[in-house]
Amino acid sequence: MAGTTTEAEEGQPLPPRCLRIDCAGRVLDLSRPRIMGILNVTPDSFSDGGRYTSVASAVAHAVSMVEAGADMIDVGGESTRPGAPEVGADEEAERVIEVIKHLHQAVDVPISIDTRKPSVMRAAVEAGAGFVNDIRALLEPGALSLAVELGVPVCLMHMQGEPRNMQAAPEYRDVVCEVEAFLLRRARECIDAGIDRGRILLDPGIGFGKNLQHNLALMRATTALAGHGFPLLLGVSRKRVIGALLRNRPIEGRVDGSVGAAVALALAGAKILRVHDVRQTADALQVAWAISKTED
């Protein structure tokens, strides 16, 4: 990467402060892999759209995920599946804000807002969210300055194109180098704008403007991507890449493959795994992590 390098860009180990992130008073310890439970309050998400559109059903599902082992909950009010249309900010806020308010009282784990819209970010944090998960890496007008103001951890994701067209014909010369360069450049821009380095996480965006080979290359590069000093958040749960690796398995048959991918990515260095199937992933990670640990 051209220009001034940071300790993170030089591939130094994660500093201790990056192993604990403060999500508006709810601390997440990243010394071991953690599970982010997916809560889609949308009518059209690819896997569970329409199942949790009432506040009561959404909160009940989130509570069940925490009881099953989720370390944080990611609330999303706009589907980002391939081909999904954009949702207006007011409609998105209407879907998520009451859920977050009730969820903040119902669970004691960090709550993440999955949005690219600054107005939704602000309203969500005011309602109780302590983490911003942005597929646009704070590139929407006003998002970066707002993130500085809000002071909560942020995840910067790479996406080629927009959800409505990102899978039309994704193309890269070298997908790992290009995604890595984008994420490090964007992290540097966020640091320069005033976001503390210890509050930045990165996500290579599996399935967001990538074909099967691109996704595999990025997943195989997890250890290298994790070596830049920013915790990695990855989401592959039930995605098309899992179905493709299982001979075009439909969504409902991708649970075991998703768990296998989560374990492999965690052992390769991912710090947060964004998943639908919390109990299965939590059990598998607990066993795999215990086996992988070396005794002092």
One-letter identity of residue 150? L
* Counts for the chain of helices (H) and strands (E), in that order: 10, 10
Which class would CATH give 16-284?
alpha beta
Give catalytic residue positions.
239, 274
| The two three-digit tokens of residue 38, written as one number | 């997916």
Q: Going along the chain, which residue ranges are E strands?
A: 20-23, 26-29, 34-40, 72-76, 111-114, 131-134, 154-157, 200-203, 233-234, 272-275
Cα four-point dihedral sign 184, 192, 75, 87: negative
Q: Which pLDDT tens digit goes with each residue over 35-88?
A: 999 999 988 555 554 677 799 999 999 999 999 999 999 999 998 877 778 899
Is 85 in a helix, a strand, or coil? coil
How many Cβ atoms are within 10 Å of 169's Cβ, its own excluded? 9
- Given this model, what pLDDT does residue 1 score? 34
Does the predicted TM-score (pTM) go above 0.85? yes
Which two structure tokens, joined as six digits, stand for 65? 């995920």
pLDDT number for residue 209: 94
Helix H segments across 69-174? 89-106, 118-127, 143-150
Regions of the chain short of the pLDDT cut 50: 1-11, 14, 16-17, 49, 296
Give the chain's end-to-end CA distance (angstroms, integer).
Answer: 37
Contact 97, 106 (CB under 8 A): no
Q: Give the C-alpha separation, 158 to 179, whole Å.
A: 7
